[in-house]
Amino acid sequence: MKAARSCVTEIRQRGQLTIPKNIREASRLEEGQEVSIIPLGDSILVTPKRLELDEARRQIRTIIRATGLAADDVLAGLEEERAALFEELYGKKTAR
């Protein structure tokens, strides 16, 4: 991500905050995208909303139930998937 310089902006009457275009572009924030606002002492951190762990667990559980697979079946295929992804990204592993 290209670094963007800090800037000053104001909070509007209804609590709206405008994030300047150069910061939105550098952070790849788009109109309508949800963000998380995290209080840090007397500051705040605004970050693109990420899938919360509990929500991720619910979605994984739903997918496993829908496919009829047991959790052990899913985990058994994990090592193969990791190896395939590694090879796709970095090429075949070489022996040392």
35 pLDDT tier (thresholds 50, 70, 90): confident
Q: How much is the average pLDDT of 53-77?
A: 77
Per CATH, the architecture of 1-50 is what? Ribbon (2.10)
Average pLDDT, the chain: 81
Digit-coded pLDDT (tens) for 3-31: 667 788 899 999 998 999 988 888 888 88
Q: What is the structure's pLDDT at 51?
A: 62
Residue 63 three-state SS? helix
Residue 15 three-state SS? coil
Q: What is the structure's pLDDT at 50?
A: 67
Query: What residue spans define the domains of the chain?
Result: 1-50, 53-90
Contacts of 37 (CB under 8 A, 6+ apart): 44, 45, 46
Distance between CA 35 and CA 17 in Å, rounded?
12
